[in-house]
């Protein structure tokens, strides 16, 4: 099968905390790590790098999967929302504190309904873009192949979509 794909990279700065982190009982704890300090429950930030790959079985009338400009336009509102914000789960015990800080000091927070791990953010971005494509009537022509989000230069998560 002949297929084309394109990848667009985005960058944003954001803070978060993995409020559910408990290394002593998480998957992989039995691998022998002696470190059980739950660092990511603390407030911290990342210089995120996001890679979005879309594909198609055919090219459009301009010999493209999609112009990079359109992919960028679709994701820029979400990137702008995340950039320089604190991404916090509405179920986080600190959520109400952050809502008050936002109100009192106009701090930028982005409330989500999941613990903002790299894996969950990748899925959230995938779903956001899929909804945009669906509303634009593009899902018969292109599909979102994968969303990769890098938290650091050595740590990334990937969400792989379903192919048409």
Active site residues: 40, 84, 151
Q: What per-residue string of b and e applies to 125-158 under the rule 16 or more CB within 10 Å gives b?
A: bbebbbebbeeeebeebbbbbbbbbbbeeeebbe
Strand locations in the chain, DSSP E?
4-16, 44-56, 85-89, 109-112, 143-152, 155-160
- What's the CA gap between 122 and 128, in Å, rounded? 10
Longest dimension (CA), the chain: 57
Residues in the chain: 164
């Amino acid at each position: 099968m002949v297929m084309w794909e394109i990848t667009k990279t985005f960058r944003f700065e954001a803070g978060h905390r993995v409020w559910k982190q408990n290394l002593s009982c998480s998957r992989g704890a039995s691998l022998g790590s002696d470190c059980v300090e739950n660092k990511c429950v603390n407030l911290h930030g990342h210089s995120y790098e996001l890679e979005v790959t879309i594909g198609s079985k055919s090219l459009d009338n301009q010999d493209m999967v999609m112009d990079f400009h359109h992919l960028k336009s679709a994701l820029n509102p979400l990137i702008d929302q995340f950039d320089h914000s604190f991404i916090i789960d509405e179920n986080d015990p600190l959520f109400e504190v952050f809502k008050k800080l936002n109100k009192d000091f106009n701090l930028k927070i982005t409330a989500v309904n999941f613990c903002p791990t790299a894996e969950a953010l990748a899925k959230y971005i995938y779903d956001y873009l899929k909804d945009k494509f669906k509303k634009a009537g593009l899902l018969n022509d292109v599909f979102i192949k994968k969303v990769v989000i890098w938290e650091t230069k050595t740590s990334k998560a990937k969400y792989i979509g379903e192919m048409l």
